[in-house]
Amino acid sequence: MLANAVATADHVSGGRVELGLGSGWMEREHQAFGFPFPRPRVRQQMLAEQLEIVHRLWTEDRVTFDGSHYTLENAPGRPRPLQSPHPSIIVGGRGTPGTTLPAARFADEYNVSWVSRPHEFPDARQRVIEACAKVGRDPATMRFSIAIHCIVGETRDEAMDRARDLRSQAARPELRRLVRRLE
């Protein structure tokens, strides 16, 4: 369904769609929309299967897939995206094998997300480059980006309130540590 929806949006937008996927990190968001929130390893396995399925649906006429989490039987690869060979696929992560290897196989870009220190980016990038080598991909064909987030308020107190709210919602310990450092 996701592959078809994005292909349709690609047509509607005149070929300006990009698809960003990650294994997910905010448990509260999963709960709000009724999605299960399994442990990280399972979410990363699901991501790997999702990437392969979307890529194949955009590049093959029919797809049969029997994974641990998803199954397709002779699924039609239509509508095809307007962009050729397909819209950019961006994988977000922190450079762990559960995101780097599937990205090396199927993504056009790797986005290092939620880094709290600038020196973390080169390490994560290097792990993606190593994953590219493992799957026989030229790492020069992979784009890299970094998601740097900020908290803004009209006053310092408002910004700190927003930071504390984010910390209370965050499932990831590094986000809580980042907010504590700001305080």
Q: The domain that contains 32 carries what CATH number?
A: 3.20.20.30
Task: Quote the domain boundaries for residue 178.
Answer: 152-183
Provide, for the chain, the percentages of residues in helix, strand and coil under a 3-state DSSP scheme, each rounded to the nearest 5: 50, 15, 35
Q: What are phi and psi of 66, to 5 degrees?
A: -130, 90
140 shares a domain with 159? no
pTM above 0.85, yes or no: no
144 shares a domain with 156? no
pLDDT tens per residue across all 183 residues of the chain: 999 999 999 999 999 999 999 998 888 888 999 999 999 999 999 999 999 999 999 999 999 999 999 999 999 999 999 999 999 999 999 888 999 999 999 999 999 976 566 778 899 999 999 999 999 999 999 999 988 778 899 999 998 888 888 767 655 555 555 555 555
Q: What is the pLDDT of residue 120?
A: 80
168 shares a domain with 91? no
47 shares a domain with 9? yes
Q: What is the pLDDT of residue 119?
A: 76
163 shares a domain with 98? no
Q: What is the pLDDT of residue 149?
A: 75
118 shares a domain with 43? yes
Q: What is the tally of structural domains in the chain?
A: 2
**Mind giving me the DSSP string for 46-109?**
HHHHHHHHHHHHHH-SEEEEE-SS-EEEEEE--SPPSSSS--EEEEEESS-HHHHHHHHHH-SE
